[in-house]
Amino acid sequence: MASGFHFRYDERLGIPLPVMEREWEEFSEAEQAQILLLWEQIRGSIPDRVKHFEEHIKLKLEQLNQEEDFAASCRLNADIAELASRINDLHIWYRVNQTIADRRSHT
């Protein structure tokens, strides 16, 4: 792997995320290509992670629809909000490769 770059597993999202200690432009074209190849492999797993979280949201919504205790309902709502936040973050990470590719084509 390129010096100044690695992937660190993110427990919350369930995927490795890139950690860059240098600016993207400071990596050679070969290093950038290697990084993008690995990222594409990780990026390909994001739709499955989103689906996983969506399934959990559906289960929580079913529980919420039957819950009569206010405190338990609040906990379920908080859980649903957290899962939705994870999905949003995954969507952002999914688009990262497009941003990098766009930058490369403009240089």
Q: What is the per-residue pLDDT across 35-63, written as a single tens digit (0 to 9) for each?
A: 989 999 999 999 999 999 999 999 999 99
CA-based end-to-end distance of the chain: 23
Radius of gyration of the chain (CA): 18
- The H or E element that residue 9 is part of is strand 5-10
Name the residue range of residue 51's domain. Answer: 5-105
Q: What is the pTM of this model?
A: 0.85
Question: In the chain, how many domains are there?
Answer: 1
Asked whether the beta carbons of 58 and 80 are under 8 A apart, the reply is no
